[in-house]
Amino acid sequence: MVIEDGVEIGANTTIDRATIGSTLIKSGAKLDNLLQIAHNVEVGNNSVIAAQSGISGSTKIGNNVMIGGQVGIVGHIKIADGARINAQSGVSKSIKNPNSAVTGSPAFDYTAALRSQAASRNLPGLEKRVLELEKQLKALMEKSTRKGSA
């Protein structure tokens, strides 16, 4: 295990020894309390990880990454430089685009998540509108059928 200069590690954080190579915490990284950093993980320069997060084996976290609390990250993936992962997200695949933000479980684009949340708040009103349009359509079809049979 290699811990470079200026690293802060909180209480009850577990950093596993590598099975092959090194588990590496690069300079300036800040690790909060109650973290699990598995074998062969690399945490980039100046990255921060909030409490109760877990990083599975052989994951490579880039520089200046911000990881919220209670995040779970699967093993053998890469997190791009500057990525931001919201609290309680589940990251199941690599984040390839630098400076991108993700949220949710499974984690997906933050902006798309906001759009989905806004749309879901409108669902009750949309349902009401669809039911009303169906009623109007049924009435028009019945009227048309009556005209055709007359």
Instruction: List the catalytic residues.
Output: 39
How far apart CA 55 and CA 136 sit, in angstroms, is: 55
Burial 47-73 (b: 16+ CB within 10 A, else e): bbbbbbbbbbbbbbbbbbbbbbbebbb
Selection from 75, 55, 57 nearest residue 65 by Cα: 55
Two tokens, residue 88:
């309680």
How far apart CA 135 and CA 131 sit, in angstroms, is: 6
Number of CB atoms found within 10 A of residue 104's CB: 17
